[in-house]
Amino acid sequence: MELNGVPIEDTYAEAFSAIGARLLITAENERWAREAAASFTGFATSVIGSGCEAGVEGVASETPDGRPGVTVLIFAMSKKGLHEQLIKRIGQSVMTCPSTACYNALAGESWVSVGGKLRFFGDGFQSSKLLDGVFNPPVGRARRFWRIPVMDGEFVVEDRFGMVKGVAGGNFLLLGEEPQAVLQAAELAVGAMRQVPGVILPFPGGVVRSGSKVGSQYKFLTASTNTAYCPTIRRQVESVLPDEVRAVLEIVIDGLTPDGVAEAMRVGIRAACRPGIKGISAGNYGGKLGKYHFRLHEVLRS
């Protein structure tokens, strides 16, 4: 298969199950909502070293308090791990940010207490309200919100947040002649993919330069550089790169559903196939990592 003259390798991206949540951060204006979201999603690129993967999903069209807001997705490997990350990141990055409030934005398959834990910061002066029909998604019950006194007024945070089974690690690789051409193609792909709801690209700017493989010659490492795709050592390893390829970048996608991840891959690959790109591939581990296999040819035909 070729797209705009760019060969698409007949391979698949291997992704794995993760537990996800969506939160809505509002503030006095969009700038401060984005400031809180940027802090919340900081150092959340890979579960390998960060404990979670998170990113800004988009601007909210509707909010409980009528103020500007952004939605954020976060994924972890377990409910316990996600619960811990939500409490730490909302407490340290959202509650600390001027004028913000934080709400659940997902009809969950299971629920965890977040505002119910953070409320103790109020030192006994916190209060709560139960409200019906305040905001989608409908959760089939009244929703409790905690009001925690802070120095610019009060921080409003929802009592419980929903969690669902999601997909992490969808990906594709861009192989190109020069680093500049590959980066430009990656930027175009990211721009297109960020229009797809229900997905995030957790790495800086949505792009990964340090793709990894499972395992290492060092026993204390569970992952190491993807040597087969590193152009500077192609003569020293079992490389898969043709001579004309001098740079490779990867885009990783996490999503609430497999269909969302597939759609993001589709629009991203189509946007990336431009002059200077010599091929599109994907990272997989022989089926040993995860149950989701996104076959590039099938994704592009869908």
pLDDT digits (tens, 9 = 90+) for 87-131: 999 999 999 999 999 999 998 899 999 999 999 999 999 999 988
Domain boundary among 164, 191, 224: 164
Q: What average pLDDT score do residues 5-25 get?
A: 97
Q: What average pLDDT score do residues 132-154 get?
A: 81
Of 147 and 287, the structure prediction assigns the larger pLDDT to 147
Work out the percent of the chain whose per-residue pLDDT is above 70.
97
Is 137 found in the same domain as 23?
yes
With tokens 């988009």, the residue in question is: 58
Is 226 found in the same domain as 99?
no
Residue 133 pLDDT exceeds 70: no
Is 212 found in the same domain as 124?
no
Look at residue 42 in the predicted model and tell me its pLDDT.
97
Element of type H or E holding 32 = helix 30-40
Is 206 found in the same domain as 173?
yes
The count of domains in the chain is 2
Which range of residues forms the domain containing residue 154? 19-164
Rounded to whole angstroms, the Cα distance separating 159 from 145 reads 5
Phi-psi region of 88 (alpha: psi -120 to 50; beta: other; left: phi over 0): alpha
Q: What is the CATH number of the domain that holds 243?
A: 3.30.70.520
Look at residue 287 in the predicted model and tell me its pLDDT.
77
Is 204 found in the same domain as 94?
no
Nearest to 17 by CA among 164, 197, 127: 164
Q: Residue 82's pLDDT band (boundaries 50, 70, 90)?
A: very high
269 half-sphere exposure, CB direction, 13 A CA radius:
34
Element of type H or E holding 101 = strand 101-104
**253 neighbors 170 (Cβ within 8 angstroms):** yes
Is 116 found in the same domain as 248?
no
Look at residue 233 in the predicted model and tell me its pLDDT.
96
Residue 137 pLDDT exceeds 80: no
Is 134 found in the same domain as 66?
yes
pLDDT tens-digit series, residues 152-197: 999 999 999 999 999 999 999 999 999 999 999 999 999 999 999 9
- Rg over CA atoms, the chain: 21
Look at residue 232 in the predicted model and tell me its pLDDT.
96
Is 56 found in the same domain as 66?
yes
Which distant-in-sequence residues (6+ apart) come within 8 Å of 290 by Cβ? 14, 15, 16, 17, 169
DSSP H stretches of helix in 68-139: 79-89, 115-118
Which distant-in-sequence residues (6+ apart) come within 8 Å of 271 by Cβ? 185, 188, 189, 191, 192, 193
Q: What average pLDDT score do residues 223-229 get?
A: 94
Look at residue 296 in the predicted model and tell me its pLDDT.
98
Domain boundary among 140, 164, 188: 164
Is 194 found in the same domain as 155?
no
Is 210 found in the same domain as 153?
no
Residue 62 pLDDT exceeds 60: yes
First to last CA, the chain: 14
Is 263 found in the same domain as 172?
yes
Q: Residue 218's pLDDT band (boundaries 50, 70, 90)?
A: very high
Q: Residue 140's pLDDT band (boundaries 50, 70, 90)?
A: low
Of 131 and 231, the structure prediction assigns the larger pLDDT to 231
Look at residue 173 in the predicted model and tell me its pLDDT.
98
Q: What average pLDDT score do residues 239-259 get?
A: 97
Domain boundary among 103, 130, 164: 164
Look at residue 280 in the predicted model and tell me its pLDDT.
98
Q: What average pLDDT score do residues 20-43 get?
A: 98
| 3-state percent helix, strand, coil for the chain, nearest multiple of 5 | 25, 35, 40
Is 199 found in the same domain as 122?
no
Q: What is the mean pLDDT of the chain?
A: 95
